[in-house]
Amino acid sequence: MRGNCFLSNSRNSGEEFRSCLEYFLNEYFLNKYFLNFYSVLLICLPFFMPLLPEHRSKIDDENDLLFYSVPRIVTHVDAGFIETLTQLYRDHLQPQTRILDLMSSWVSHLPPELEFEHVEGHGMNAEELAKNPRLDHYFVQNLNQNPTLPLPDQSFDGVLNTVSVQYLQYPEAVFSEIHRVLKPGGIAIISFSNRMFFEKAIQVWRDSSEELRVKLVEHYFSAIAGFTPPESIYKQPEKRSLLSFWNASPGDPFYAVIAQRV
């Protein structure tokens, strides 16, 4: 741990499962909460095998295109999160490369000084995507109905996903597609916080702690052959001053999981 950030690397499913089990033993059993074998398996199995049907379920199971049919020209995370994300992109993305912004909207948070050869956008609302000044082209597609991207193999140097991974019901298929469209050495950056449209997030995300959500995204990468061991980044929100304590809520925590195509 360094300051208010930490880095970790996920190596294999056995380590992920052991880490998950240790977390539950520490947080529940040692604190005298009732813990049964089934509850451990229900939460920890996603880190050891493909998600079960109940893990993929949503409270609102209507077509996602209906939910996102009304444009939301807002930011879903605070300025501190956005600043951290933009700096992360600055540190890991190269100019004059090809970028895919997956599950995007009206803003991509890319560093303004970086110019790219091409930025492809994907999302669920055409009006939002049309307002995004960084996109050279975009398409609308419900990845929960069709996870196959209409994009050539090995055509992007970077794939980005911002505060949206929690809505994927078939993340294995989507991460396989991310691997397919990345060039060798290309990077995938998945960032998220603790905010979500609760009714649209999958069950295993809703029921997991923030730490376990990081492990879950690490597993999404580890489940696909051909990615480097994922690197996780966490940054706590800045502490509020006493003068602003009564007028401001805590900031948004920043999480990102990064891996490269081998």
- From CA 90, how far away is CA 69, in angstroms rounded? 32
- Residue for token digits 């930025």? 119
Q: Determine the pLDDT at residue 66.
A: 80
Q: Determine the pLDDT at residue 6.
A: 42
The pLDDT profile of the chain, 262 residues, written as one tens digit per residue, is 333 444 445 445 555 556 666 665 665 555 444 445 545 555 565 565 678 888 999 988 888 888 777 777 667 788 899 999 999 999 999 999 999 999 999 999 999 999 999 999 999 999 999 999 999 999 999 999 999 999 999 999 999 999 999 999 999 999 999 999 999 999 999 999 988 876 889 999 998 888 889 999 999 999 999 999 999 999 988 765 554 455 556 789 999 999 999 9
Q: Determine the pLDDT at residue 12.
A: 52
Q: Determine the pLDDT at residue 161.
A: 97
Instruction: Tokens for 18, please give them.
Output: 């052991």
* Dihedral class, residue 226 (left if φ above 0, else alpha if ψ from -120 to 50, else beta): left
Domains of the chain: 5-260 (3.40.50.150)
Q: What is the pTM of this model?
A: 0.81
**Helix (H), strand (E) at residue 139:** strand 137-140
**Residues forming beta bridges with residue 140, ordered by sequence position:** 123
Instruction: Tokens for 257, please give them.
Output: 């999981």
| Neighbouring residues of 196: CB distance < 8 A, sequence distance ≥ 6 | 163, 166, 167, 205, 206
Residue 115 DSSP one-character state: -
Q: Determine the pLDDT at residue 1.
A: 32
